[in-house]
Amino acid sequence: MKQPNYYAAGGLDRVGHLRKDSDWLAARLADGASRFVPVWRAQNLVRDTEDGPAPLLIDRAQAESLLAGGPETVLLGLEAETALFALDLSTLEAPLDSLALDAARHKFLDLRAFGPLLGRRDGSLLAYAKAMMHWHSRHRFCGVCGSPTVAAEAGHVRHCTNAACKTTHFPRTDPAVIMLVSDGDKCLLGRQAVWPAGMYSTLAGFVEPGESLEEAVAREVFEEAGIEVDCVTYHSSQPWPFPASIMLGFHATAKTREIRIDAHELQDANWYSRDWLLSHEDGADFRMPRKDSIARRLIEDWLKQG
Ligand SMILES: [Zn+2]
């Protein structure tokens, strides 16, 4: 099996079969050995270390007073025998004070800013907690009837409270395709105007209802760059909680060469040869996508095929 992508394969046992066991769940919530992954307004709690930010999980005693307020909690799973919960602190104005943490050495940070610095387990755990709390924050009301919803099954479903509706809502993750398009020893990379200066990456876009993944790949490449593709082959996938995607990675072969960019989507796109990419260092004019991204992985795996 290929090396999993970043933010995946954190090693947790998600124990889906125990989410409906309210006695087991109550015992884990009360268990002094359980650990909590705080999330505050889409940010994760870290402490400063010599090696950069590291996740800070809090124990049952630290969480005690916060749990009394009935915050959203989600059972993430078991790590060995230890239950790990995500804990939403978004209603607090000063969460570090509430946790009695020194603001000089602790902070809530956007995972985008420090994810690449984390080990695999830590990155995966924080991404999972962040993604679940994002879903809860966006589904407080029923999309069918507009009534409030309440969480159930250890935070993995929300039920509509309207007795005439009772719709059950499940966590969402939005599929997006991301593809490295090649033509012989050249590949197609583009950049959006909002990206960091000089960064070029693979093309990507959301899957639309009623199309296959292969069709989504072909449509996005044609819409954004005017290139027709075939031989769309699956590579690997990556949870991407920015805010709620699963990236589905593909390689595809170009049938046409002439680039016509959609200026609403891309600022620039070009063909890059394998030799040029292998010899070019990241700089102001060109740099590769971030190391934790599946885009980087798709490019690097293609470069190795040469
Ligand atoms: Zn409803």
pLDDT tens digits, one per residue of 181-192: 999 999 999 999
Query: What DSSP character marks residue 185?
Result: T
Separation of CA 161 and ligand 1 centre (Å): 7
Say how far apart CA 100 and CA 154 lie, in whole Å. Answer: 27
Separation of CA 295 and ligand 1 centre (Å): 39
pLDDT value of position 279: 95
pLDDT tens digits, one per residue of 194-223: 999 999 999 999 999 999 999 999 999 999
Separation of CA 129 and ligand 1 centre (Å): 26
What's the rounded mean pLDDT across residues 104-131?
Answer: 94
* Residue 16 scores a pLDDT above 80: yes
pLDDT value of position 51: 87
Specify the long-range contacts of residues 204-210, CB closer than 8 Å, at least 24 apart: 204/176, 204/177, 204/178, 204/179, 204/247, 204/295, 205/176, 205/177, 206/174, 206/175, 206/176, 206/177, 206/245, 207/175, 207/176, 207/177, 207/248
pLDDT band at 81 (very low <50, low <70, confident <90, very high): very high
Residue 85 phi, psi dihedral angles, 5° rounding: -120, 145
Supply 270's token pair.
Answer: 């070009």
pLDDT value of position 2: 74
pLDDT tens digits, one per residue of 41-56: 999 999 999 988 999 9
Separation of CA 191 and ligand 1 centre (Å): 41
pLDDT value of position 9: 84
pTM for the whole thing? 0.94
**Distance spanning both ends of the chain, measured CA to CA:** 21
Separation of CA 151 and ligand 1 centre (Å): 13
pLDDT value of position 1: 52
> What average pLDDT is seen over the chain?
95
Query: What DSSP character marks residue 276?
Result: H
Residue 62 phi, psi dihedral angles, 5° rounding: -65, -30
Say how far apart CA 208 and CA 226 lie, in whole Å. Answer: 19
CB 289 within 8 A of CB 202: yes
Separation of CA 46 and ligand 1 centre (Å): 37
What's the rounded mean pLDDT across residues 71-96?
Answer: 96
Contacts of 105 by beta carbon, 8 Å cutoff, 6+ apart: 47, 48
What's the rounded mean pLDDT across residues 254-277?
Answer: 97
